[in-house]
Amino acid sequence: MRNLTPLTLKVLLDLQYLNVATTGIKTYMMELAKAARKYPHPEIEWIFTHEPEDQSADQTYKGNQSKIQKLNYHLDYFRWKEFQLPDLVKKYKPDVLICPDFVAPAASLPCRRLTVIHDAFFWQMPKNYPSWWRKYFVSLIKKGLKENTEIITTTEYSKQSLLNYLGSSWPITVVYQAPKGLKSASDPKFLDKYKLEKEGYFLHIGTFDRRKNLPLLVNAFAEFLSTTRSEKKLVLAGGPGQSRQMNDLPVVRNLVKELGLEEKVLLTGYVSDGEIKALYEGAFAYVFPSENEGFGIPILESMGFGVPVIHSDQPALLEVAGGAGLAFAGGNQSDLMEKMILLERENELKSNLIQAGRARSKDFSAQNFIQAFHQIILSSPTSP
């Protein structure tokens, strides 16, 4: 370990949650850890609670779990936050503790806390969660907001939402994250498996959470096909929603069957990084109909691959797209269908969106992501 100068600050990054994290939070944690190593700062020493790749690969609590296994996970998570993590704070004596998964320890700590609260979904959409679990998790979040705490969130929309529910007792700073670095080689065999031609399909990647509004997309796509007689397909890649209340996968499956679109709407399940890369490289457009997002990583991933994006006019998606996407009125099936037709017929519009999207995606680099954290870490704590 290198010698520390008096100006060096120690930062402890809590990566425990990577053993169960999926989609957006997993990407956030992995990209933050990678950027911390790739772009070191001479006045900051990073200490990771876990090796990111190893913790992410841990299968102990992944997959279908019995009630006992789920209970064991919650007990394990509680032990980590309330006992093991505070012990690591005593051991390493960091100046700053970063918890990127909503929850910091309830115990008193002799350091600053940067707690990442990605969105306000627990407060905005309570019916999407089991009531007991939501109550428990929200209590954990609030108990960890104490002492010298600063909240980090993902967009101005999320900041305003959190202010509505948490008030202004704690400083809230927006840090734009970086999209996932897809380093794996593209897997074109995956496209062959589903008989997908280049620019022959609309794409959506993500879980089938109810807020994603995927039944709306399927219905709009069916209307698009009947209006245009297009040969295009729709690919919905990803796994089920994270709880029974949130899971729209059975609804989408039934809808596809009712509409007779089994050959046109492809449900691929979870996909690897190589398969994701192939899907982006071959897509005609990405469609993001979500009714609520804290950020919207797929917008930036798509734009980085030169794929035009159609997205709902939900505030976070408008903020991230920055005018480089084609917005439709959220929840409006006809407007979504019309935007899909417009993109297929107007080549100049498609080209302009691709160009604007590539430029927009560069604003969300890993270097910008970590530099924003460096600035916060090195700044004096802000009083509430």
pLDDT tens for each residue of 67-110: 788 788 889 999 999 999 999 999 999 999 999 999 999 999 99
Is residue 115 one of the residues assigned to a domain?
yes
Is residue 2 one of the residues assigned to a domain?
no
Same domain, 356 and 326: yes
Same domain, 173 and 195: no
**Structural domains in the chain (count):** 2
pLDDT at 291 over 70: yes
Is residue 384 one of the residues assigned to a domain?
no
The pLDDT, as a whole number, for residue 28 is 96
Is residue 4 one of the residues assigned to a domain?
no
Q: Are 308 and 326 in contact (CB under 8 A)?
A: yes
Same domain, 144 and 205: no
Helices (H), 144-187: 156-166
pLDDT at 112 over 80: yes
Cα distance between residue 175 and residue 93, in whole Å: 25
Same domain, 212 and 282: yes
Beta strand residue intervals within 56-132, DSSP E: 96-99, 112-116
Q: Whose CA is closest to 344, among 284, 265, 261?
A: 284
Identify the CATH number of the domain in which residue 314 sits: 3.40.50.2000
185: helix, coil or strand?
A: coil
pLDDT band at residue 362 under the 50/70/90 scheme:
very high
pLDDT at 283 over 60: yes
Q: Are 367 and 175 in contact (CB under 8 A)?
A: no
The pLDDT, as a whole number, for residue 222 is 98
Is residue 3 one of the residues assigned to a domain?
no
List, in sequence order, every residue forming a beta bridge with 202; answer none if it has no partner: 234, 285
Give me the domain span that covers residue 237.
Answer: 188-363
Same domain, 150 and 267: no
Same domain, 129 and 166: yes
pLDDT at 25 over 50: yes
Q: CA angle, corner 289, sides to 370 and 248, nearest 5?
A: 100
Same domain, 156 and 268: no
Quick: pLDDT tens for 293-351.
999 999 999 999 999 999 999 999 999 999 999 999 999 999 999 999 999 999 999 99
Tell me the pLDDT of the chain averaged across its residues: 93
Burial group, residue 5, by CB count within 10 angstroms (0-12, 13-18, 19+): exposed
**Spatial strand order in the sheet of 9-13:** 44-48, 9-13, 96-99, 112-116, 149-153, 172-174
Cα distance between residue 258 and residue 79, in whole Å: 47
pLDDT band at residue 46 under the 50/70/90 scheme:
very high
pLDDT at 384 over 60: no
Residue 248 corresponds to which tokens in the numbers above? 């729209």
pLDDT at 15 over 50: yes
Is residue 1 one of the residues assigned to a domain?
no
pLDDT more than 70, % of the chain: 97
pLDDT more than 90, % of the chain: 83
Crossing angle of helices 23-38 and 366-378, in 10° steps, is: 80
Same domain, 129 and 192: no
**Taking the model in full, what pTM does it have?**
0.91
Same domain, 292 and 280: yes
**pLDDT higher at 106 or 240:** 106
Query: Looking at residues 19-45, what average pLDDT do you find?
Result: 94
pLDDT band at residue 383 under the 50/70/90 scheme:
very low
Is residue 147 one of the residues assigned to a domain?
yes
The pLDDT, as a whole number, for residue 244 is 74
Same domain, 106 and 201: no
pLDDT at 246 over 90: no
pLDDT band at residue 183 under the 50/70/90 scheme:
confident
Same domain, 193 and 251: yes
Is residue 383 one of the residues assigned to a domain?
no
The pLDDT, as a whole number, for residue 381 is 64
Same domain, 198 and 225: yes
